Amino acid sequence: MEEIGFLGLGIMGKAMSMNLLRHGFKLTVWNRTLSRCDELVEHGATIGESPAAVIKKCKYTIAMLSDPAAALSVVFEEGGVLEQICAGKGYIDMSTVDAETSSKISEAITSKGGNFLEAPVSGSKKPAEDGQLVILAAGEKALYEEILPAFDVLGKKSFYLGQVGNGAKMKLVVNMIMGSMMNAFSEGLVLTEKSGLNPQTLLDVLDLGAIANPMFKMKGPSMVQSSYSPAFPLKHQQKDMRLALALGDENSVPMPVAAAANEAFKKARSMGLGDLDFSAVHETLKATKS
């Protein structure tokens, strides 16, 4: 496959681009904090000095950026994607953003003759390292088919969901459920301890029943130890709750559980926990006096 550009080497972008390199893809990478490119260069990547330079060099460019503001700035600001995108080039934004942001980017890219695909992912740092993401793509179908060899390396399954916005919406629904579940789980762990039971026994019981799931299994033991090394930063989970609640607003869907979960994540951010794993929302409950 042709050389691929990669913009954004945070937790996910680094893991995904390392995985592409491991599978023989040639990559040109860019990150706002340039020093984060060094490790990729050691593994064979080339550095592009700006998003525009990456787009100029590569037929396909993938972006994995923190939030709507970052996704927009990399496209629209000086030295951005729009300066070099043109017919024959594809831009694939895998960041988690709202449908409106994605549509704005899509319109700008296509008005210059380029092709656009949104492709947010479900799965965290470890699935990204292992090529086990679930890819939720929408937009230009031909671009989806052209980039599938890369998606097959990055993920265990790719969904094509139709028009731009559908991938973003699906991702927000999934993360809204995940954030709500994390809060219910955290309340259960605190209630277990405060009522004199062993939280490890709760984890064992949950794992054998109808609500067993990989998230409880993976995050439970570290939450019991108050250990929150970031795989999915809490500030991004709160962003996703906020965007999902806005989607609920647009569609007149009442979401009292998600709204309460969002408040807990906001509280955690106000306690300075935004850069820790999203499971650190547990600290907001543990801090409650009896």
Residues with a known catalytic role: 171
19, 28, 84, 95: residue in contact with ligand NDP (rule CB under 6 A): 95
**Under the criterion CB under 6 A, does residue 179 sit at the interface with ligand NDP?**
no
**Under the criterion CB under 6 A, does residue 31 sit at the interface with ligand NDP?**
yes
Which of the residues 203 through 242 are near ligand NDP (CB under 6 A)? 231-233, 236
**Going residue by residue from 209 to 248, which x/- string records binding to ligand O=CC(=O)O, judged by CB under 6 A?**
-----------------------x----------------
Q: Which residue is nearest to ligand NDP (CB)?
A: 10
User: From ligand O=CC(=O)O, ligand NDP, none, which one binds at residue 189 (CB under 5 to 8 Å depending on kind)?
Assistant: none
CA distance 129 to 196: 39
Q: How many CB atoms lie within 10 A of CB 34?
A: 12
User: From ligand NDP, ligand O=CC(=O)O, none, which one binds at residue 73 (CB under 5 to 8 Å depending on kind)?
Assistant: ligand NDP
Q: Which residues pair with 61 in a beta bridge?
A: 5, 91
Check if the beta carbon of residue 54 is closer than 8 Å to that of residue 48: yes
**Under the criterion CB under 6 A, does residue 175 sit at the interface with ligand O=CC(=O)O?**
yes
- Beta strands 60-63 and 90-93: pairing type? parallel
Residue with tokens 């954030």: 179
Q: How many CB atoms lie within 10 A of CB 246?
A: 14
Which of the residues 111 through 140 are near ligand NDP (CB under 6 A)? 121, 124-125
Q: Of 53 and 173, which CB lies nearer to ligand O=CC(=O)O in the complex structure?
A: 173
Closest CA to 92 of 11, 20, 178, 179: 20
Residue with tokens 């996910």: 12
Closest CA to 64 of 96, 101, 37: 96
**Going residue by residue from 98 to 137, which x/- string records binding to ligand O=CC(=O)O, judged by CB under 6 A?**
------------------------xxx-------------
Closest CA to 97 of 20, 175, 151: 175
- Secondary structure (3-state) at 181: helix
**Under the criterion CB under 6 A, does residue 8 sit at the interface with ligand NDP?**
yes
Q: Which residue is nearest to ligand O=CC(=O)O (CB)?
A: 124
Q: Of 9 and 243, which CB lies nearer to ligand O=CC(=O)O in the complex structure?
A: 243
Count the residues of the shown chain that bind ligand O=CC(=O)O, applying the rule CB under 6 A.
6
- Secondary structure (3-state) at 35: helix
- CA 262, chain centre distance (Å): 17
Sort 87 into a burial class: Cβ within 10 Å, 0-12 / 13-18 / 19+.
exposed
User: From ligand NDP, ligand O=CC(=O)O, none, which one binds at residue 10 (CB under 5 to 8 Å depending on kind)?
Assistant: ligand NDP
CA 24 to each of CA 18, 113, 149, 174: distance values in angstroms, whole numbers, following the listed order: 10, 29, 11, 31
Q: How many CB atoms lie within 10 A of CB 11?
A: 18
Which residues of this chain interact with ligand NDP, rule CB under 6 A?
A: 8-13, 31-33, 36, 64-67, 69-70, 73-74, 95-96, 121, 124-125, 231-233, 236
Which residues of this chain interact with ligand O=CC(=O)O, rule CB under 6 A?
A: 96, 122-124, 175, 232
